[in-house]
Amino acid sequence: MTKTLLVVFHSTTGGTAAMAQAAAQAAAGQGVRVRLLPAGAAGPDDVQGADGCIFATPETLAAIAGPMKDFFDRCYYAVLGRIEGRPYALMVCAGSDGTNAARQVARIATGWRLRAVAQPLIVCTRAQTPEQILAPKVIGVQDLARCAELGATLAAGMEIGAF
């Protein structure tokens, strides 16, 4: 039976979308079914139907983005007690450090009893002015390669039963 990796993301300026797409494309070559869904389109059935997840969020005002928070709010209790032990990874596209957004997702994942298979991957754009923050983001080749490696590693581990 083919395992399913769910990649849930939100992106306002394109950076997080590029990160999620890089992870999903690399994961698809590892023998798992990959579902790449915007946070607004993903729901409890998607989470429950996945064998593993990658969550990708921008850091917005030192927190996860509102649409990702909404995704977790809509799904949390509906899947609580039904997804324990499943692997997950996190990617954050941050203007400063991204650590608070990573902590928030880790707390949610702890409640769900998910298993982190990697440290949070944080890409820092250094966008600090309103103009920089609102501008479209271009994620560098090296950072996209790190995202792809994360996606491929999680998918390969799922495929061979390591996670």
Confidence check: pLDDT of 139 > 80: yes
**How much is the pLDDT for 37?**
98
Whole-model pTM over 0.85: yes
Cα–Cα distance for residue pair 86/106, rounded to 1 Å: 14
Domains within the chain, CATH numbers bracketed? 4-160 (3.40.50.360)
* CB distance 33 to 3 below 8 Å: yes
pLDDT digits (tens, 9 = 90+) for 67-95: 999 999 999 999 999 999 999 999 999 99
**How much is the pLDDT for 96?**
87
- Cα 34 from chain centroid? 13
Angle between helix 66-79 and helix 99-112 axes, rounded to 10 deg: 10
More confident residue, 36 or 133: 36
